[in-house]
């Protein structure tokens, strides 16, 4: 790999910074997102009218259960809301937020720059491509090398004609089963990683064996697993055996849905969204297995109902409530800081 000029630094929307200045970091968020790509009509045909209602206290219980069947819930597009909610994270002690709103999810570099300035947070912007249903038609015929060109341009020059650069490639979407154009977009991310040293972050489909398959392919294509993040671990991998095998690849493991729990998970009706205590069980299992240095934490806020003003937990949830609970369960402060400060710093530093 040719060493890039950003090597050894972290690339934020305000430019490269020294890794030591990152502080507490949440590693998979969306300050702004148009997430209607996952919209589904309500399961119950009698509730079809709910899909177009604005979020309110009267329908919040329904939205928590059917969060992707409310179009309003899937649109986080108000910068003032993002600034106010992200400021709570800063006030709680958070210093860096990784926004992995990739192509297909409404990425807005200028807005991220404004939010970073208004909040004082380091904001790292994501690149690459979300799941196949968002891919442009020309990806059918394109090669991975061709797709990689604009991803590399985003890292080295800037996004959408700005000079605001990406500091991570992700979230790179993979569906279950893994679609053909998604194989190309993952391979394109690997090409960009090799050329620039940028970290790669993957969104896997809901299949317990898929994360391992993706990581094996990345390694086969010459990717650097120590510079790769497997996302959404807790809602994808329920068995300890599968978790152990993924951990043994050496990739970072993102427990990135803190604050989100539901016995019904509309995108995987056979399954469920674990709660924070179940996340902590999995994390403690990995710590006991010697994998502390691979664990990352985040909330993946991607809908209104996850933010405080709409009845949710907000971006300070991990610092304000999860960390105290971890400490109460006997995880040491030193280990908490490894997950919240040291690991994200190492992950975000360009190779």
Q: How far is CA 155 from the centre of its chain?
A: 18
Q: How many residues make up the chain in this entry?
A: 351
246 within 8 A of 230, measured Cβ to Cβ: yes
Handedness of CA 159, 162, 165, 168 (dihedral sign): negative
Candidates 43-51, 127-135, 291-299, 300-308: pick the segment binding Zn ion (CB under 5 A): 300-308
**Least Å from the CB of residue 146 to Zn ion:** 25
300 forms part of the interface with Zn ion (CB under 5 A): yes
DSSP percent split of the chain into helix, strand, coil, nearest 5: 50, 15, 40
Cβ at position 14, least distance to Zn ion in Å: 22
Q: Which is nearer to Zn ion, 113 or 300 (CB)?
A: 300
Please work out the total of residues on this chain that contact Zn ion, with binding judged by CB under 5 A. 1
Does the protein bind Zn ion through residue 154 (CB under 5 A)? no
Q: Are 350 and 301 in contact (CB under 8 A)?
A: no
Residue 143 beta carbon to Zn ion: minimum distance, rounded to whole angstroms: 27
Toward Zn ion, which CB reaches closer, 28 or 165? Answer: 28
Residue of closest CB approach to Zn ion: 300
- Continuous segment of H or E residues that includes residue 57: helix 57-65
- C-alpha closest to that of 17 among 144, 127, 124, 136: 124
Q: CB nearer to Zn ion: give 154 or 300.
A: 300
Which of 130, 118, 112, 152 minimizes the C-alpha distance to 15?
A: 112
CB of 298 to Zn ion, least distance (A): 9
CB-nearer residue toward Zn ion: 276 or 300 = 300
Q: Which region among 91-99, 173-181, 292-300, 333-341 touches Zn ion (by CB under 5 A)?
A: 292-300
Should residue 99 be labelled a site residue for Zn ion when binding is judged by CB under 5 A? no
Q: Give the range of 154-162, 183-191, 295-303, 310-318 binding Zn ion by CB under 5 A.
A: 295-303
Question: Residue 88 or residue 300: which is nearer to Zn ion going by CB?
Answer: 300
Cβ-based nearer residue to Zn ion, 210 or 335: 210
The gap from C-alpha 58 to its chain's centroid, in whole angstroms, comes to 30
**Shortest distance in whole angstroms from residue 222 CB to Zn ion:** 26
The DSSP call for residue 68 is: G
Nearest approach in angstroms of CB 98 to Zn ion is 10
How far are the Cα atoms of 90, 129, 217 from residue 87, in angstroms, in the given order? 5, 28, 39
**Strand stretches in 38-167, DSSP E:** 75-76, 96-99, 122-127
H-assigned helices in 248-321: 276-288, 317
Site string for Zn ion, 242-281 (x = CB under 5 A): ----------------------------------------
Q: Is 188 helix (H, G, I), strand (E, B) or coil?
A: helix
Contacting positions for Zn ion (CB under 5 A)? 300
């Amino acid at each position: 790999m040719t060493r890039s000029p950003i090597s050894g630094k972290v690339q934020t929307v305000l430019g490269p910074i020294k890794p030591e200045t990152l502080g507490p970091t949440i590693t998979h968020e969306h300050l702004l997102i148009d997430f209607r790509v996952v919209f589904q009509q309500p399961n119950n045909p009698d509730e079809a009218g709910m899909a177009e209602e604005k979020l309110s206290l009267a329908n919040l219980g329904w939205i928590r259960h059917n969060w992707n069947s409310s179009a309003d819930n899937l649109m986080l597009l108000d910068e003032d809301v993002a600034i106010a909610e992200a400021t709570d994270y800063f006030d709680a002690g958070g210093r860096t937020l990784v926004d992995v709103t990739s192509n297909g999810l409404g990425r807005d570099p200028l807005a991220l720059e404004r939010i970073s300035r208004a909040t004082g947070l380091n904001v790292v912007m994501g690149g690459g491509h979300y799941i196949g249903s968002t891919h442009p038609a020309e990806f059918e015929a394109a090669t991975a090398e061709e797709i990689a060109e604009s991803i590399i341009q985003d890292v080295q020059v800037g996004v959408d004609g700005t000079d605001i650069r990406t500091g991570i490639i992700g979230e790179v979407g993979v569906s279950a089963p893994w679609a053909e154009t998604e194989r190309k977009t993952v391979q394109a991310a690997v090409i960009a990683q090799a050329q620039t040293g940028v970290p790669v972050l993957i969104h896997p489909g809901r299949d317990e064996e898929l994360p391992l398959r993706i990581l094996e392919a990345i390694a086969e294509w010459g990717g650097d697993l120590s510079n790769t993040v497997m996302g959404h671990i807790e809602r994808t991998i329920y068995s300890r055996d599968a978790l152990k095998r993924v951990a043994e690849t050496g990739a970072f493991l993102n427990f990135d849905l803190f604050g989100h729990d539901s016995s019904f998970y509309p995108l995987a009706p056979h399954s469920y969204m674990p709660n924070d205590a179940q996340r902590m069980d999995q994390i403690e299992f990995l710590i006991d297995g010697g994998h502390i240095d691979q664990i990352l934490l985040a909330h993946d806020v991607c809908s209104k109902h996850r933010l405080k003003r709409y009845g949710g937990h907000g971006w300070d949830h991990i610092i304000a409530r999860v960390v105290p609970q971890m400490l109460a369960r006997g995880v040491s402060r030193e280990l908490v800081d490894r997950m919240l400060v040291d690991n994200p710093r190492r992950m975000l530093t360009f190779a």
